[in-house]
Amino acid sequence: MKRLIYPSPVEISKALERPSAGIGDIDIIVKEVLARVRAEGDVALREFSLKFDGFAPASFKVEESSFQEAEKHVPEKIRDAMRAALASITAFHTAQLQEPETVETTKGVKCWSRDLAIEKVGLYIPGGTAPLFSTLLMLAIPARLAGCRDIILCTPPGKDGKINPLILYTASLCGVTAIYTIGGAQAIAAMAYGTESIPAVCKIFGPGNRYVTRAKELVQLEGIAIDMPAGPSELLVIADESANPSFVAADLISQAEHGTDSQVIMLTDSRAMMEKVQREVEEQVMKIGRSDIAGKSLANSSLILLPDLDECIRVSNLYAPEHLIIATYNPYIHASAVVNAGSVFLGNYSSESTGDYMTGPNHTLPTSGYARSWSGLTTNSFRKRVFFQEVTARGLRVIGPATELLAGAEMLEGHRNAVSVRLKYLNDEQN
């Protein structure tokens, strides 16, 4: 990891830059995938699956029997742990289901809204080097709680051409209605436009590599809703002298192992803590199975010494991390100053890993600085709000004249007349 000692604003800005690949090269590939899948459907899907995944199934849809078979390959202890995670995630996301109240904005004018489930949603779960069934829990549970009618899943196969049993079992556990063996930008294209095998959906959810993320961004420009631009994982830790350097190092490595384009940063006001964490990172990273991946990610990451914790918070808000751990003597004080972060973990015992699996809040979060304006997923991400309003005769007499004035000021005579004819009718009826 890079070490920065009381860096200048320019040096801080440089250190906070996310790892990037050539967007132009990615765009060329992704735009071709989107255009061809839209025009050629399953034919293009099979070609791209062979090209990028090395496998194209005879049928993209996974048979129902495969769901049931998968359970036999998942150890009972893992199934028990999954059910415990499901209970926590369900409890947190159920609490978000609150029907809005009816409001009388003026005498005779009532307004209310209803939250309705998005009928068809598509979930994307990456394949790659780890079966991210935890992300499937975080997507499928709120989708089911929201009442989505169709919940489809697209995920790429492993090298054996099969979907990991953990993914299949989790899908069955969470109420996914259909699974398709397809990954990459072509999976996003299939869910966006629909093909002979895979139905189009109303909104696409889930993280992925740069090609998947760019595909989601491009289909959004065409009016297809997405959850958020969720790219490579990132973690920022703020640690003072009270932090446990072993814990901090473990947290940094836990996110670095996601992928070579992940990024982790530690901000501290203690030079001694910086040195201890660096030593711990060097020792611990060699003990994990994904040390090669984590090592490349750590090369894009930094340990930064700043004058005080207030400056640490300022820099963190500037970075707007996906995950933020505050390991300080009194984390609640510093947490109150956080304005940009996807999910915040307080204290020495709150590892990001527990948030990934067991605590309950969603771990599908905005990355790449999008936490400045985006939120992590909630149950309401799978719903849409419809507004209702009722104006009685009494209410129209109250707000009608002001409406006429405002419509006239905008020179929209038709708008004004729609109110005027009603007011005239009420006046004529009264007389």
Q: Find the angle CA(161)-CA(137)-CA(324) to the nearest 5 degrees.
A: 110
Active-site residue, 280 included: no
> Of all helices (H) and strands (E), which one includes residue 356?
helix 352-357
Q: Which of 234, 257, 322, 352 is catalytic?
A: 322
**Could you tell me whether strands 150-155 and 120-124 are parallel, antiparallel, or unpaired per DSSP bridges?**
parallel
Residue corresponding to tokens 């150890």: 75
> Could you give the CA distance from residue 256 to residue 258 in angstroms, rounded to a whole number?
5
Q: In sequence order, which residues have a C-beta less than 8 Å from that of residue 162 and are 6 or more positions away?
A: none
67, two tokens: 């769901």
> Could you give the CA distance from residue 268 to residue 278 in angstroms, rounded to a whole number?
12
Active-site residue, 323 included: yes
Q: Between the CA atoms of 91, 247, 258 and 212, what dihedral angle is there, to the nearest 10 degrees?
A: 50
Q: Which of 93, 234, 280, 323 is catalytic?
A: 323
CB burial string 125-139: b at 16+ within 10 A, e below: bbbeeebbbbbbbbb
Taken in order 330, 332, 333, 334, the sign of the CA dihedral is: positive
Nearest to 105 by CA among 401, 422, 391: 391
The residues annotated as belonging to the active site are 322-323
